[in-house]
Structure 1
Amino acid sequence: MTVLGILLFYFLAAELYVYGFSRNGSLTDYDYILLLGANGDLTSTVTRDRASNAAKAKSRWPHAQLILSGDERRGEVAVYKILLAKEGHTDFLEEGESKNTWDNMQNSRPLMAQTDPRVLIVTSEYHQPRALAMARSLGMKAEAFGEDPRRYKKALLFFIKERFSNLKYFPQMLFHKIF
Structure 2
Amino acid sequence: MWIKTGNWMYAGKLPAANGENEYAIILGAKVNGEIPSLSLRYRLEAALDYAKKHPEVKFILSGGQGPDEDITEAEAMKRYLMENGIEEDRLILETASTSTYENIQFSRKLLPASVNSVTIVTSDYHLARAREIARQLDLESDAVAAKTPKVVEWKLTTRERLALLKTSVFGR
Q: TM-score range by the shorter chain?
A: 0.7 to 0.9
Correspondence for 1:157 among 148, 155, 158:
155
Q: Distance in 2 between matches of 1:24 and 1:32?
A: 17
TM-score scaled by structure 1? 0.78
User: Aligned runs of 1:14-163 on 2, under 5 Å?
Assistant: 15=5, 18=8, 22=12, 24-25=14-15, 28=18, 29-41=20-32, 42=35, 44-73=37-66, 74=69, 75-89=72-86, 90-91=88-89, 92-148=91-147, 151-163=149-161
Percent identical among aligned pairs is 27
The alpha carbon displacement at 1:136 in A equals 1.7
| Cα separation, partners in 2 of 1:104 and 1:25, compared to 1, 3 Å | same
For 1:143-168, what per-residue CA distance to the aligned partner results, in whole angstroms no more than 9, with x for missing partners?
A: 110331x6421111101210221133
Cα RMSD (Å): 2.6
Number of equivalenced pairs: 162
Change (3 A) 1:110 1:161: same
Runs ≥4 residues deviating over 4 A: 16-21
Query: How far has the Cα of 1:43 moved from its partner?
Result: 5.3
The structural deviation recorded for 1:40 is: 2.7
Q: When you count helix as a share of all residues, which structure comes out higher? A: 1
SS at match of 2:45: helix
The answer (yes or no) to whether the contact 1:71–1:99 under 8 Å persists in 2 is yes
Cα deviation, residue 62, structure 1? 1.5
Which protein is richer in strand relative to its size?
2
When Rg is computed on C-alpha atoms for both structures, the one with the higher figure is 1
* Bigger shift: residues 71-80 or 152-161: 71-80
Question: Unaligned 5+ residue runs, structure 1?
Answer: 1-10, 175-179
Secondary structure, in 3 states, of the residue corresponding to 2:25?
strand
Return the alpha-carbon distance in structure 1 between the equivalents of residues 36 and 16 of structure 2.
Answer: 35
Q: SS in structure 1 opposite 2:96?
A: coil
